[in-house]
Structure formats: C-alpha cells, structure tokens
Structure 1
Amino acid sequence: MILFFNVIFVCLNTAVASVLICCLALLKMLLPVPALQRAITRACNGIMWVWATLNHRLVNLTSNVEWDIQGGESLSKEQWYLLIANHMSWADIVVVFSVFRHRIPMAKFFLKQQLLYVPFLGLACWAVDMPFMKRYAHQYLLKHPEKRGCDLKTTRKSCERFRHTPTTVVNFVEGTRFTEEKRHATHSPFRHLLSPKTGGIAYTLGAMGEQFDAIINVTLAYPENRDLPFKDLLSGKMKKIVVRIHTLPLDSAVKGDYFNDKTFKRQFQQWLHQRWEEKDDELSAIYGEVPIHKRVERR
C-alpha cells in the first residue's frame, strides 16, 4: 500500500512540476529579454526546489529514515560547484536533491544536445538552464580533424549564461549504477565502486572549469538497504541514508587540457583514481569493513 501511494505521489509531483516548468519555458521563449529570462529561470529553480522538498518530506513521512550526513558546512547557494558522486540507485537523485536543496544552487546535469529536441523533456531542461553538450564521435573527428575542439568551444559558449547565475553541475562519474555483476564484468579494482570515467568530468571542467569555486565529492550509501534502495525508499523500508561531503579545491591537479595534454591527462586520471580509492575505503568503513586501500592524505 505504501509503495502504491508513494509511486502515485512521486509521479504526480514530477508531472505537475514538469508542466509548470514547460509553461514557464514557453514564456521564456516568447520573451527573449535576458533579465526576464533570468527571472524565469529562478522561478523554474524554485519549482525544482518545491519538487525536491516534497519528495524529501514524503521519504520522512513514510519511512523511519535515519539521515547520517557529515560535511558540507562551508557550502553556499551563492557559489558555483561541480558535484561528483558514486551511483548506486535511482534513489541517489532523490537524496542529492533532498540533502543539497538548502546548501547549494539547484543541481543540474550535463545533457547531450540531442535531448534538447525531445518533446517536453528538452523544453523543461532548457527552462531550468540544464547545460547541453555537443560531442562529435571519434570516427567523425577522424574524417573531419578540423572539427576537433569545436564541440568543447560550442558547449563552453552555451555555458556563458552561468557566469551570472550560481550553478551546481552533477556528474555520476561511474557512468552507470553500481552492481556486483558490473563490478566483476569490468574488473573494477574497487570493492564497492565501478572504475571512474574521466572523460565526462574532464569535459565538464573544460567547459566550465573557470566558473567553478570548488568540487563537491559526495559518497552515498544505504547500509541496510543495499540490494534495492529505490524500491525500499518507495516502500517505506529505507532504514538509513549515509551522505559524506568533501569539498575539494580546483588546483593544478584538475586544471589543464585533458584532451590534448597527455601528461595532464595521466595526472588527472591518477587524481580521480585516488579520490575513488578514498571513497571505496569510506564505503568500507560505513559498512563496517576493513579498508583495502592505502590511506593517503586528502587533497
């Protein structure tokens, strides 16, 4: 019964928010005045905040959840962030929005430019200023080398509007949800994680790196509901949600030309791999296991 009620509520909440945002998106298209468009974007972000708040209250109403959140005290809604996290379940999206809705600007996701043309979805994402990226396929670049670097320049230009509006861009670095089957299939060197994919985060930093104030490294865990956390969340069976927040500086380890500088590319891959080792050990500690990686000083 709880599962049925929660699914209906979440669907209605999402549908109403989407319709309102799409209506504002049409208004935004009809009024191409920068000041008005920024005001409409703020209104759309407000709708997203209400959507996230209602989901958060639903979780607390139907589940006796213990929220174990550490870190993030210095975060601000007036700054720009890149948020990276491990990915275990669809519940991660609900948790990220719930935990950070009061702490940082509303979370945005880099989307493929093709999604801009999907009915309703593309319009709603455009209305809340989701950044769209244009990527050329590797085979296309081999035939058209003159286009190399143009995709990043185009995306960087589209991100110019974020200079005036504090923004948080979210990247689930593993690229897909973690399962034991995927971990074994990909020969991941980690116990609780898949290997991080550096291309997406490097692309985000290349497009918006100068705008970010910091990187937020988030570890998500559901220690008593590890098998089906999203279903358990909707069924009122979620027991504990653990969130660890680490703020990292944008230093020389993450600033450089990832796509053309091989030395920096190796350095960046090592930096991200080290962060994932720390995250893996953090998850082991949350689950009451002995860490398997050599401890290193966090940057």
Structure 2
Amino acid sequence: MGSVISLIRGSLAFSCYVINTIFWVIPILLVSIIKIIPIGPLRTGCSYILDHCATAWISVNTFIERIFHPVEILIEGDAELSPKEWYMVIANHQSWVDIPVLQRIFNHKIPFLKFFLKQQLIYVPVLGLAWWALDFPFMRRYTSAQLRKNPKLKGKDIEITRKACEKFKYKPVSVMNFVEGTRFTAAKHQKQNSEFKHLLKPKAGGMAFALSAMGGHIHKLVDVAIYYPGNTPSYWDYISGKVKQIRVHIKVSDIASEMRGDYLNDRAFKIGFQDELNRIWKEKDSVLDKLAK
C-alpha cells in the first residue's frame, strides 16, 4: 500500500513540476529573444525579468513540494544574506536532490542561483533552453588526450568560463559551483583515495577562474554542507515522499584576497588556492560529521 501511495504522490508531483516548468519556460524564452538585441540597458532589464520569472518558478516548485512531498530542512550556521549582493556558492554534491534543496533554501534570500553546467546539458529538453536563456555558464572540459591531439584547445575551457562570467558583472548574481566536479559515491571516494570522510577531493580551477573573471565583484563566499539522514536519496525518492528530513549547514564569509589571482600562470597562487580550498573542505568534512550525529 505504501509503495502505491508513493507512486501516486511521485507521479502527481512530477506532473506538476513539468507543467510549472513549461509554464515559466515560455515567458523566459520570449524575453530571451528580446535580450539578444545588443543594447546594454535593454539586456540588463531583460536579465532582471528573467531572474524574476525563474524565482517565481522555484517558488511554485516549493509550493508543489509542500503539497505532495513535504520535507523538513533543518538549517544551521550563519545566514546573513541579501538579494543585492554578489555570491560564490559552493556545496558538496551527492544527488540531483541537492539542486532543489539549494534553490529552496536560497530563493528570495540571494540572487537567483546560476549553476556551472556541463556543455551536454544544454540539450536537455525544455530545461536546456531555459538554462541557456537564464545565462547559466555551460562548461566544456577537454581531456588530456584531446589536448595532446589538438594543443590549440589548451586554455579554451578557461576562456569559456571567463566569457560566461563576464555578463554577471552588471547585476547581483549567485554563482553556484559543485567543486568536487561530480556526485559523491563510495566507489569514486575509494578510487580517489580521498583524505576526506564524506567528500571527494575539491577541484579549484572552475572556482578560481570564475572569481578571476568577475574582477572583484563577488565579495562573499557561501559554503553549504548538505546531509541526508540515512541513504542518499534519488530524485524519485525525493518527489515520492521518501525523504522526510534534510540537514543543511551554511557558512558565509568574505572571500580572502589570497583567492584572487592568475590561476593559469601563477604556480604559487595555484598551489595556495588549492590549499585554501582544501582547508575549507576539511571544515566541511567536520561539519558533516556533526550533522550525521
């Protein structure tokens, strides 16, 4: 009986999410067409309208969650936030559920979250176009084999990051980065021989390039630790009501001057940046230990 109820609840919730997404994607795409016109103030105005649409989209998603699969999110830590500030947001990554959790806890409190996305995700039906219209930065990563085969590709991924972040200078924004680069699994953790108990090793490049591209506009770092009591849930677990509680710790701090520099050409800065990120990750590992108790 319980599985039947979960199936019905999940199916209804998913249907509502799809309808809500289509409803808001239509005005988002229409405004994005106007935004193509190369007039600075017009583009900025369109960006505000697009972000308001996206914020409303998340608000309705939260309403759907409360009706069909209410989840208690316990938040700890400091959270002095403002929608008028620029933020770099980093978090551990375990599941697709991380994204709706982050959207829910930060909606209306900081500027709409812009996630770094893999280039392939632009082809996701409906959502790919919405992410493009909302200026989500799409990342193209080149493997060592690709770089050896075509040395001209070296630095191209960095340039893509820089161009994607340039447009964020003109209005407050929250740039979201899962610095582990992939979702945590026990297999990946073991393969990496990670020094952290709950985390994969952090990758500094994307965050460093984004901070450099923003030219000092981002002043605050929002460090988020997400813990799921029991097993890490799938998205279906989440929308079918199997997730009852999620624990979140938020730490807001100023971005240290040591985290701004030339990551590509300054080896000393590159090492120092990675060391600072490792320090943050050790603190997060300790926080996750406490959230697990």
Equivalent of residue 9 in structure 1, options 8, 16, 34: 16
1:94 equivalenced with 2:105 (yes/no): no
**CA–CA distance in structure 1, aligned partners of residues 255 and 210 of structure 2:** 13
1:167 equivalenced with 2:169 (yes/no): no
Contact 1:59 1:233 in 2 (8 A): no
**CA–CA distance in structure 1, aligned partners of residues 125 and 35 of structure 2:** 16
**CA–CA distance in structure 1, aligned partners of residues 186 and 136 of structure 2:** 32
Indicate how the Cα distance of structure 1 residues 258 and 189 shifts in structure 2: closer, same or farther if over 3 A, else same.
same
Contact 1:25 1:124 in 2 (8 A): no
Equivalent of residue 56 in structure 1, options 48, 62, 70: 62
**CA–CA distance in structure 1, aligned partners of residues 217 and 140 of structure 2:** 19
How far 1:140 sits from its partner (Å)?
6.8
**CA–CA distance in structure 2, aligned partners of residues 111 and 101 of structure 1:** 19
**CA–CA distance in structure 1, aligned partners of residues 14 and 272 of structure 2:** 44
How far 1:81 sits from its partner (Å)?
0.8
Contact 1:134 1:152 in 2 (8 A): no
Contact 2:12 2:68 in 1 (8 A): no
Alignment partner, residue 110 of structure 2: 104
Alignment partner, residue 238 of structure 1: 243
**CA–CA distance in structure 2, aligned partners of residues 144 and 177 of structure 1:** 29
Aligned length: 286
- Which deviations, in whole Å up to 9, do the C-alpha atoms of 1:3-42 show, x marking residues without a partner? 111111122222222233112222322x433222222221
The more displaced of 161-170 and 120-129 is 120-129
1:65 equivalenced with 2:62 (yes/no): no
Secondary structure (helix, strand or coil) at the match of 1:5 reads helix
Contact 1:85 1:172 in 2 (8 A): yes
AA at the equivalent of 1:14:
T
Contact 1:254 1:268 in 2 (8 A): yes
The more displaced of 45-54 and 11-20 is 11-20
Indicate how the Cα distance of structure 1 residues 83 and 209 shifts in structure 2: closer, same or farther if over 3 A, else same.
farther
1:285 equivalenced with 2:276 (yes/no): no
1:270 equivalenced with 2:286 (yes/no): no
How far 1:62 sits from its partner (Å)?
2.5
Equivalent of residue 256 in structure 2, options 251, 257, 266: 251
**CA–CA distance in structure 2, aligned partners of residues 279 and 130 of structure 1:** 26
Instruction: State the superposition RMSD in angstroms.
Output: 2.7
Secondary structure (helix, strand or coil) at the match of 1:246 reads strand
Contact 1:41 1:127 in 2 (8 A): no
Contact 2:13 2:240 in 1 (8 A): yes
How far 1:56 sits from its partner (Å)?
1.4
> Could you list the runs of 5+ residues in structure 1 that have no partner in the other structure?
289-299
- Which deviations, in whole Å up to 9, do the C-alpha atoms of 1:194-247 show, x marking residues without a partner? 1111222222222225110111111111214x2325332211122111111111
Secondary structure (helix, strand or coil) at the match of 1:83 reads strand
Secondary structure (helix, strand or coil) at the match of 2:197 reads coil
**CA–CA distance in structure 2, aligned partners of residues 183 and 134 of structure 1:** 24
Alignment partner, residue 293 of structure 1: none
How far 1:121 sits from its partner (Å)?
5.5
TM-score computed with the length of structure 1 as normaliser: 0.84
Contact 1:135 1:152 in 2 (8 A): no
Q: How does 1:8-157 map to 2 (within 5 A)?
A: 8-29=15-36, 31-111=37-117, 123-132=129-138, 152=158, 155-157=161-163
**CA–CA distance in structure 2, aligned partners of residues 58 and 140 of structure 1:** 44
Indicate how the Cα distance of structure 1 residues 66 and 24 shifts in structure 2: closer, same or farther if over 3 A, else same.
same
The more displaced of 123-132 and 99-108 is 123-132
Alignment partner, residue 291 of structure 1: none
> Could you list the runs of 5+ residues in structure 2 that have no partner in the other structure?
1-7
1:189 equivalenced with 2:195 (yes/no): yes
AA at the equivalent of 2:99:
I
TM-score computed with the length of structure 2 as normaliser: 0.85
**CA–CA distance in structure 1, aligned partners of residues 124 and 106 of structure 2:** 28
- Which deviations, in whole Å up to 9, do the C-alpha atoms of 1:71-98 show, x marking residues without a partner? 3432111111110000111111101111
Indicate how the Cα distance of structure 1 residues 270 and 234 shifts in structure 2: closer, same or farther if over 3 A, else same.
same
Indicate how the Cα distance of structure 1 residues 186 and 113 shifts in structure 2: closer, same or farther if over 3 A, else same.
closer
The more displaced of 98-107 and 43-52 is 43-52
